[in-house]
Structure 1
Amino acid sequence: MMSRRFPEAAAVGVGGFVRDDTPTEQVDRREAVVASLAGTVRDLVDATIRTTLGDAELHRIRDDLAAVVDRLRAGQLPGPAGIRYNSERRSWNWGNAVMGAANALAPPLDVVHDASGCHADVDLGAAYEGPPGLVHGGVSAMLLDHIMGETASAMRRTTFTGTLTTRYRRGTPLGPLRLEASIVREEGRKVFVAGSIADADGVTVEAEGVFIQPAGAPAADG
């Protein structure tokens, strides 16, 4: 393990999984740091969308940010972040498009597993707008794909999206939303999952999906 930087490039394993024996305590500490940075960048994205400053000031801010980017580029992974894991079965996927701790494009989504499946609360701002004041339909589908995949992959098994069918019942407003998903049934390596997005007035989007366990993969781990 490298002590000066966290962690330098490790050999990428099959399918983007990387064995990285950084101790869990250090992973947790680093995750808090990168999540804090990503949160500030997320605020920057929102501020950039909604700013009314003049052109000259925006050019100055752009130049300042370009210098910050150069500082961050001084230490970089050589490719995608992938999914890393250590011998303590701690895994981290900080580049994930939906819940990556280091990814400012990812909404701050914290998936909770419960007896019926999974749920999550999220507050979507200006960066996720499609129609005026409403969440982009592709963002809704992405969020549902993720939480439904999390549900299908419960019990430490691996599944991949086979099909995802969405029904947009009405526009999903920006702001606080509730995501829910549950397993409907299982047939061999196929896991059938239902999911929804709702605001304070009820469901806005529904989805059905089929998630498939890779051939040869165990049905569950542990």
Structure 2
Amino acid sequence: MTSHWMDDPISDEKTARVAGPAGALADSVRDLIDAVIRSEVDPDELESVRGEVEALTKRLRVQQIPGSFGQTHGFSSGAIRAWGNAAIGLRNAVAPPMVNETREDGTVVGRATLGAAYEGPPGMAHGGVVALLLDQVLGEAAHVAGRPGFTAYLTVNYRHLTALGRIRTEARAEPPERGAEHKTFVRGALFTIGEDGSETLCAEAEGLFVLPRHLREQMAKESAQEGL
């Protein structure tokens, strides 16, 4: 499968026009997934709906990129678009999606609503989904700290079952170790949010994010060229 990490040739204006319909379509597919899981219509109706879904899928495949969506950067804004991301992807109906924001102190806070598609134990979120969301928010915290990297390890301590419904995550990077700035340690947590707004700590995590040597060398080379 081809992967993509490139500059986006589409203007920011055109991207903005695509974002609305694409995001709305992903929302509709999420709703479809939920309906498929919980529907009790008869088998003939299920077969009829399947035919309609296959016809819609065929229409979308008329024009598509090869492989995965990857990660692109805005033509003029430089904004990173991870629209295929499994946790936050605008176009990925598998993603809840989790919406993240950054506080002034560098803490990244994420919010999402987990429905039937994310179930593990009855009425509870799958532990792997909890780890996915924590991995995402910890990785973003490393990026916000100016020391992005790939997950080297992620340790999750499950403190309480995570009920389906609203959740909140948070993460913040630790100060860098001298001589090892390419390594970023991050700590975070995930909470469920009750109907009254109260929160329950469900999982804590710590992770190490490392920028590989070849990317460090590439960045150093590009920085040197810009200084010429």
TM-score class normalised by the smaller sequence: 0.7 to 0.9
Residue 46 of structure 1 aligns to a residue in which SS? helix
Structure 2, unaligned stretches of length 5 or more?
193-197, 224-228
Structure 2 residue aligned with 1:110? 99
2:7 is aligned with 1:19:
yes
Q: Map 1:1-222 onto structure 2 (within 5 A).
A: 16-85=4-73, 86-116=75-105, 117-154=107-144, 157-187=147-177, 188=180, 189-199=182-192, 200-215=198-213, 216=216
Deviates more, 1:205-214 or 1:78-87: 78-87
Conservation of the 8 A alpha-carbon contact between 2:70 and 2:82: yes
CA distance in 2, matches of 1:192, 1:47: 40
CA distance in 1, matches of 2:49, 2:4: 36
1:87 is displaced (CA, Å) by 4.0
Conservation of the 8 A alpha-carbon contact between 2:12 and 2:76: no
Conservation of the 8 A alpha-carbon contact between 1:185 and 1:193: no
Matched to 1:27, the amino acid is T
CA distance in 2, matches of 1:18, 1:157: 20
CA distance in 2, matches of 1:155, 1:167: 24
Residue 37 of structure 1 aligns to a residue in which SS? helix
Provide Cα deviations, 1:145-179, integer angstroms capped at 9, x if missing partner. 00000000115553111110000011000001111
Residue 65 of structure 2 aligns to a residue in which SS? coil
1:184 is displaced (CA, Å) by 2.5
4+ long deviations beyond 6 Å:
none
* Identical residues among aligned pairs (%): 39
CA distance in 2, matches of 1:184, 1:88: 29
Structure 2 residue aligned with 1:6? none
Conservation of the 8 A alpha-carbon contact between 1:190 and 1:211: yes
CA distance in 1, matches of 2:128, 2:25: 26
Residue 185 of structure 1 aligns to a residue in which SS? coil
Matched to 1:100, the amino acid is G
Conservation of the 8 A alpha-carbon contact between 2:145 and 2:173: no
Deviates more, 1:46-55 or 1:192-201: 192-201
Structure 1, unaligned stretches of length 5 or more?
1-11
Residue 68 of structure 1 aligns to a residue in which SS? helix
* RMSD of equivalent CA atoms: 1.9
Conservation of the 8 A alpha-carbon contact between 1:24 and 1:90: no
Matched to 2:200, the amino acid is G
What is the TM-score with the length of structure 1 in the denominator? Answer: 0.87
CA distance in 1, matches of 2:111, 2:77: 29
